[in-house]
Amino acid sequence: MKAIVQRVAQASVTVGGEQISSIGRGLCVLLGISLEDTQRELEHMVRKILNLRVFEDESGKHWSKSVMDKQYEVLCVSQFTLQCILKGNKPDYHMAMPTEQAESFYNNFLEQLRKAYKPELIKDGKFGAYMQVHIQNDGPVTIELESPAATVDLKQLTKLEKQQQRKEKTRTKVPSESSRERNNPRNKDDPSASSGAEGDVSSEREP
C-alpha cells in the first residue's frame, strides 16, 4: 500500500463539475492499494497517517504535531495509479488491487480512520469516478508512505524482472544447430551423427 500525504491549507474533490467534498487545513491523502495488501497493511497505514507529525506546535516549532493533535481534517482519495510500474514509458497497473475488491478495502480503510479519529473530520472523494482534485499544498509538504509488505513485494518484483532479463540474454547467446554444425563438422563414422542423436538434441531445444 502506498500513500502520498500532503499538508494542505485546503483541498476539494469535484466530480462532473460538482464539488462533492472539501476540507480546510489538514491532510490530503492519495491512496494506492496493492494486490497483496491485507488488514495488517491497512492498519499500519491508518496509524502512520494519523500520527504523522507535519504541523507546528503552539510555540511555532515545526514537525511537532499530528493531524489529530491539531484536530484538523483529512481528505482521502483512492488513486490506483500509485501502483504503476513502468514498462519502458508505458504504465502497467497489474500490481493494483482489482476494482471490486479494492472498493471494499478502501471503504474499510475509511472506516478504520473514522474509528481511530473523529468521523466528521474524515472526508473522501468518489471511488472509481473521474475526479478533479484541487490541492492547496501548504509548504509545500509532501510525504510518501509505503507499507512494509508493499516494499518487499516491489523488491521481489524487481528481482524477478532482472532474472527474466538474464534468461532472455542467455537464450540469445545459445548458438543455433546450423552454426554448431558449421563449427563442428561431423565425421561420417561418428556414431553421434545418427538421426537418433539429432533427435535428442532437437528435443532439448525450446520451441
**In the prediction, which pLDDT does 207 show?**
38
**In the prediction, which pLDDT does 38 show?**
95
User: 510555540: which residue's cell?
Assistant: 59
**In the prediction, which pLDDT does 166 show?**
72
**In the prediction, which pLDDT does 171 show?**
59
Average pLDDT score, the chain: 84
0.85 surpassed by pTM: no
Print burial letters for 9-29: b (CB count within 10 Å at least 16), e (below 16). Answer: ebbbbbeeeeeebebebbbbb
Mean pLDDT, to the nearest integer, of 112-131? 97
Chain centre to alpha carbon of residue 174: 36
Q: What is the pLDDT of residues 170-199, one digit of tens each?
A: 655 555 454 455 555 555 454 444 434 334
State the pLDDT confidence band at 148, using cuts at 50, 70 and 90. Answer: confident
Q: What is the pLDDT of residues 19-73, one digit of tens each?
A: 999 999 999 999 999 999 999 999 999 999 999 999 999 999 999 999 999 999 9
Instruction: Give the chain's domains with CATH numbers.
Output: 2-154 (3.50.80.10)
